[in-house]
Structure 1
Amino acid sequence: MTYRFSLFIFFNTLFTPVYGNLDNLPPALEWIELTKTDSIKSSYSQITILELEKLIEDSFTNKDSLGAIKYLNKLGSVYTNRIDYQNSYESYWKALLLAQKLGHLKSQTQSLIGLGILYSLYDRRDEALSYYQKSLNLSKELLSHGQIDSLYLVKNFYILAVHHRYDHQIEKAESYLDSCTLFRNTAIETDMVKAERGYLTSLKGEFQDAENILLSLEKKITESTPTYLVFFYSLLGEMYLDWENDILAEKYFIKSIQQAQIHLSHLNFLPTNYNHLANIYTRKKDYKKANQLLKTAHELDTWLYSSLSPNNKYMLEIKDQIRIAEAKRQALLKEQKIQHLEYEDQLWFMRLIILLIILISAIAGTIHWGFNLKKIHGVRQNELEEKRKLEVAKNQEILAVKNKELTNTTLQIIAKDELLHQVKTQLKTVQKKDAKPEIRQIINSIKVNKDMSWLEFENRFTAVNSDFYTKLQERYPNLNPYDLKICALIKLNFTAKEMAKLLGISPESANTARYRLRKRLGISKEINLTTFINSI
């Protein structure tokens, strides 16, 4: 959430629930109309602007300067709450100048905090911190003289804790919260201090502890300070958003908006709440609702802070009344200040030019480096691809040589078996003419074992073509062992006659086996069977 949306909550409440359908949330125009009538009372302020202006006028008439300061500070707070920053600024400055004239330090502390909040609303953080520190220093001075109780400093410490929390200075924020407890002279913290401490806990990633702290405060805050619920529910929404719980985040952002509508207070929380809801609905892919919410957020932000808004033109050119008065009395100092600002502008411009040159050089260098890196990467990829191709070609050559050797070996086995068969046949012819026992013994010793021949072939084939059978069976699981034998012989470019000799079948049976294999593989006659099997 933006820093400007929470700074004036605690200060305002010191001087001063329903979770429904998203479709019931008011559009931007309705919010704007709600703030236009000066006679409207809200839960935040049970007195109207017109009534306050009458009280201020009466105080001046009765020469009650302290009363006028009190009501001017109150009016500034109401105007801030109602998004009328110009009138708020004027009210606080009138109160501050009058309090300085009277030397009333306590009233000055309130005006300074109010002005600090206005500066913070436009992210002028250094100026805001300066006003908060001035207020704290005056409060400490009053405490040292016994003019105020230590409890009075709590609002100073609280506002500084919030300021440093938005600067992501968690330790400083916790230190100021500790001071809130210390200066109350009790270990019991206020609900708002507890809520801030709970949210700081969530920023440290301790979401469960933060949830326990914050949810335990809801009932008490609802009963004691209902206008603070606008801020409180927004804190819960932020916590659940960081906790990546969009459902509960949506719930509490809607509740925050509804509390702003009920109490007509702290309306400057609206743009951030609508923006968060738009992001949640974008993640839900409900782009229509997300677009509506984003449009409302943009219109409210424009109305609150844009220079196009007549409500804000004045605030974009905030004038420090004390400095103007000083400048009128010291013309020379003013001229020096203007010259210094001009020098700062020139210095800033030169820094910008240098920064742009550095940025452009860095971008150009990055592009050049990226181009070279891509080029080098491309060259390396080409080298690797060439190396891979050479490796594949080499492996294919080795495989071809080994398959050729295997083919030759197999053919030799076939020739051997055929020779043995011929010898055995001739011996049987001789035996018919001369039945000597020695001839029968030789015939019986000659055995042509086709199964052993095939087993020897298959072992050698698998050693060379290790994954051939695996790939073949993965693509064609319906092939039987006999089909696998035929595929192996075809891969080695065996003829039907050579296949027949190795398998112990006729050449016609070998051709029939090839024909059946084509059908099982689902290939036509136009496709070369040997080429097809070698491609597997």
Structure 2
Amino acid sequence: MCFTRAKKNKQFIVSLLTCLGLLLPKFAMANVLSFQEVHQKVLPVSSETDTEQLADSATQALLKLYETNLNEKDTVKAIRTLKVLARSYSHEGNHKETYDKLWTALLLADAAKIDLEKAAIYKSIGRHYSFYKREEKAFEFLNLSHALKKKMVRRGDIDSSELVESYLSFVSTYREMNNFEMGQVYLDSCQAYKSGKVRPVQANFLAFEEGVLLSQQNQNKKAIALFEEAIPWFEKNIPGYKVLLYNYMGDAYKNLNNYKESELFYQKALFVSEVHNAHKDFTPLIYERLSDLYVLNGDYTKAYKNLKKAKELDAVFFDSRSENNRPLLEIQDSFRNEKETQAKILREQRLAKFEHEEKVLFLEKILLWGFIVFLLLFGFLTYRNLRAKHRIEKQLFTKKRELEIQKNEEVIELKNKELAASVLKLIEKDAFIGTIKDKLSDHNGDLKSQDIKKIIRSISSNNNENWNEFEARFVSINKSFYENLQNKFPKLTVNDQKLCALIKLNFSSKDMARLLNMSIESVHTTRSRLRKKLELSRATNLKQFIANI
């Protein structure tokens, strides 16, 4: 460890600026001063400049940059500057300032609604809670970060491979809590969400965490191989992280009973922490490991010295009585207080709004229900009126139709009676004329035989004309009767149809015989034949059957 203070100073600044440039490359290119600019403008120091003065100068430069970002109203740059400041304070073990800067950054990110930055800050706050073994708070913020990233993945704002970083934070936290079983679960989740081309930063941190878990599973050679593969990348990009890397390599060699190599890597870890001013709060654990190693070697003096050093540093970084961390317990959760105040105001505003909306909604409901009731009542009354009107119209139509039918039937019946009476008169006339015809046929008087025959032919012709006239009048009155009769019984003869017409008019067999110029017995015979043609049984009344046609 024989390095001059100037070399330490330069290495510290290089480490700090490397942190600035590598963790936030885009931000570094646009905002963070290059090493040459810091060296020329901020740190024009001699080789005797103290490391703390250099660190303070770099911090002041970042604070000025933060003020510039605020003046320019560049929230994103201001948030990222605060994150770099928080990381710088964290490496120094100044957790009070770390928390302050992270909470301030969180307030800015929340106000600007920058979810990606909020997720990163939630993760950093959760990790810092874990340093103080406040597991509940640590996982509360880690879960907030993870949930926010999953939401962004669902929205398509970021790729699902970004969740690897969230799972890695759980792996690191469970590692620090010595819960390696849960660490393995989340490491498996990292592998599940890892895409084909992971970023080098993710790949190397995964290799580191996997190496730690392999060492816990007594696969120390595999663990050392993974650590050695990751060393070049960390050396180039995040040299301060070698504090942890060398520490766990020391653990792996100790598990292999290679105490010499184990001691070497523990010492390397302390050296890197000193040179790069990184992970100071982790050094108490390294001194404890060295103490345990010296006990195994039987060197109790060194074991005691290292254990004493571990307790001293633990008091500096984690004891609430220390000057460095006493203010930590007095930190007001400004973000939560601010959010609670805002939430309270919002709740009151929402309550007033809800009360107003509830009244409006109540009035709207009353109006709506009143309108609905009015529509239902109007519809019911309209429907009832229409139905009553329809019923009355239907009744009137039915009654009118019945009256028309009745009237038609009465007219037909009347005409049929008139027709029957007329036919009866014709029958009587025909009978009278028949008598005359018989007398003329038998007369031997002065009338010439030729004249008598002429009179008889005239009487017979008149008889046929009477029947034709009757048939024409009957058909005109009972038109549907003839049509139905012909449709139902197309095989009936003309005489059969005449007989059916006379039966419908209730003519007696005697009248039928006189009208049809046949004997009564012939009429009965014709009726019997008609029944057979109509396929009527003996039980069926012929008159009733024909009347219904």
Q: Residues 168, 295 of structure 1: CA spacing in aligned structure 2 closer, same or farther, 3 A cutoff? A: closer
Aligned to 1:256: 269
CA spacing shift, 1:212–1:175, aligned 2, 3 Å: same
Mapped to 1, the partners of 2:84 and 2:54 lie a distance apart of 15
SS of 2:53 mapped into structure 1: coil
Cα drift, residue 56 of structure 1: 0.8
Q: Which runs of 4+ in 1 moved over 6 A?
A: none
Residue number among 285, 297, 304 corresponding to 1:284 in the alignment: 297
- What is the Cα deviation at residue 83 of structure 1? 1.4
For residues 74-105 of structure 1, the C-alpha deviation after alignment (integer angstroms, 9 at most, x for no partner) is 21111111211111111111111111111111
**1:150 is matched with which residue: 160, 167, 189?**
160
Structure 1 unpaired stretches of 5+: 1-10, 17-32, 42-47, 332-536
Contact 1:76 1:114 (C-alpha < 8 Å) held by counterparts: no
Match of 1:84 in 2: 94
Select 2:53's aligned residue among 12, 29, 37.
37
Query: Which SS does the other structure have where 2:320 is aligned?
Result: coil
Tell me if 1:174 matches 2:180: no
- The answer on whether the counterparts of 1:79 and 1:87 sit within 8 Å (CA) in structure 2 is yes
- Judged with a 3 Å threshold, the aligned counterparts in structure 2 of structure 1 residues 284 and 204 are, in CA distance, closer, same or farther, namely closer
1:200 corresponding residue in structure 2: 213
State the distance in 2 between where 1:186 and 1:247 align: 39
Q: Please give the alpha-carbon distance, in whole angstroms, between the structure 2 residues aligned to 1:279 and 1:179.
A: 34
CA apart distance, 1:277: 1.1
Q: Secondary structure at the match of 1:148?
A: coil
User: Equivalents in 2 of 1:222, 1:68: separation in Å?
Assistant: 28
**1:178 counterpart letter in structure 2:** D
Distance change >3 Å, CA 94–CA 224, structure 1 → 2: closer
Match of 1:37, SS state, is helix
TM-score (norm 1): 0.51
1:209 maps to which residue? 222
1:34 shift after superposition: 7.5
Relative to structure 1, the CA distance from residue 168 to residue 304 in structure 2 (aligned partners, 3 Å threshold; closer, same or farther) is closer
Structure 1 residues 170 and 289, CA gap change in structure 2 (3 angstroms): closer
For residues 508-527 of structure 1, give each alpha carbon's deviation from its aligned partner in whole angstroms, at most 9, with x where no partner exists: xxxxxxxxxxxxxxxxxxxx
**Pair 1:247-2:260 in alignment:** yes
Change (3 A) 1:168 1:226: closer
Change (3 A) 1:284 1:216: same
Q: Is 1:267 aligned with 2:280?
A: yes
Q: Give the C-alpha shift of residue 208 in structure 1.
A: 2.9
Cα distance in structure 1, aligned partners of 2:136 and 2:196: 32
In the alignment, the residues of structure 2 paired with residue 302 and residue 225 of structure 1 have an alpha-carbon distance, to the nearest angstrom, of 27
User: What are the residue-to-residue correspondences of 1:321-340 with 2, within 5 Å?
Assistant: 321-325=334-338
Contact kept, 8 Å, 1:35 with 1:82, in 2: the verdict is: no
Amino acid at match of 1:116: G
Q: Does 1:300 align with 2:300?
A: no
Q: Is the 8 A contact 2:127 2:173 kept in 1?
A: no
- On the 8 A contact 1:191/1:217 being kept in 2, the answer is yes
Residue aligning to 1:517:
none
Aligned to 2:126: 116
1:50-65 correspondence runs (5 A): 50-65=60-75
Please tell me the residue identity of whatever aligns with 1:112. Y
Give me the whole-angstrom Cα distance separating, in 2, the residues matched to 1:305 and 1:36.
21
The secondary structure found in structure 2 opposite 1:319 is coil
Whichever of the two has the greater Rg, that structure is 2
Instruction: Tell me the percent identity.
Output: 27
Asked if 1:311 corresponds to 2:324, the answer is yes
TM, length-normalised to structure 2 = 0.50
Relative distance call for 1:192 and 1:327 in structure 2 (3 A) is closer
Letter in 2 for 1:82: E
Letter in 2 for 1:311: N
Contact persistence 1:237–1:252 (CA under 8 A)? yes
Counterpart Cα distance in 2 of 1:65 and 1:187: 31
CA separation in 2, counterparts of 1:115 and 1:197?
Answer: 24
The structure, 1 or 2, with the larger RCO (C-alpha pairs under 8 Å, 6+ apart) is 1
Structure 2 portions without partners, runs of 5+: 1-18, 26-48, 345-549
